[in-house]
């Protein structure tokens, strides 16, 4: 089946620094990638939708200047958390779709801890 990877799987950073998370579709070309955030014991909340070669579409309440998304190719999207703060600590999950209406394939997630 379709495989999506994320790197790193976990990261600890100091407050004020920036962190980049990569999402790759390993064996298919993803026209659209989604970025989700999951707080402990809570559901996934969509942050933004990323299409290759165009600007990401952010959900209401998500700061686009803080969460920079770059979808450089059909197999790679990156999320950069800029000037991270402890409240940004969370589990970030990406997903990718083949373009049909059927399935999103999820990455394993990246746990970010900001100290």
x/- letters, 85..114, toward another protein (CB under 8 A)? --------x-x-x---xxxxxxxxx-x---
Binding to another protein in span 21-50, by CB under 8 A: 32, 34, 42-44, 46, 49
The residue (of 19 and 47) whose beta carbon lies closer to another protein is 47
Q: Which of 26, 33, 11, 45 is nearest to 78 (CA)?
A: 33
Q: Strands of 67-73's sheet, edge to edge?
A: 4-7, 19-25, 76-81, 67-73
φ, ψ (nearest 5 deg) of residue 66: -90, -40
Tell me the closest approach of the beta carbon of residue 43 to another protein, in angstroms.
4
x/- letters, 45..84, toward another protein (CB under 8 A)? -x--x-x-----x-x-------------------------
Strands 10-13 and 110-114: parallel
């Amino acid at each position: 089946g379709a495989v999506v990877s994320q790197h790193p799987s976990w990261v600890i950073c100091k407050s004020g620094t920036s962190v980049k998370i990569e999402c790759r579709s390993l064996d298919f070309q993803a026209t659209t990638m989604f970025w989700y955030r999951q707080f402990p014991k809570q559901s996934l909340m969509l942050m933004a939708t990323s299409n290759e070669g165009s600007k990401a579409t952010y959900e209401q309440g998500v700061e686009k200047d803080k969460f920079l998304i770059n979808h450089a190719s059909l197999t790679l999207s990156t999320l950069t958390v800029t000037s991270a703060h402890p409240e940004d600590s969370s589990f970030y999950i990406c997903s990718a779709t083949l373009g049909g209406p059927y399935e999103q394939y999820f990455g394993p997630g990246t746990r970010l801890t900001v100290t």
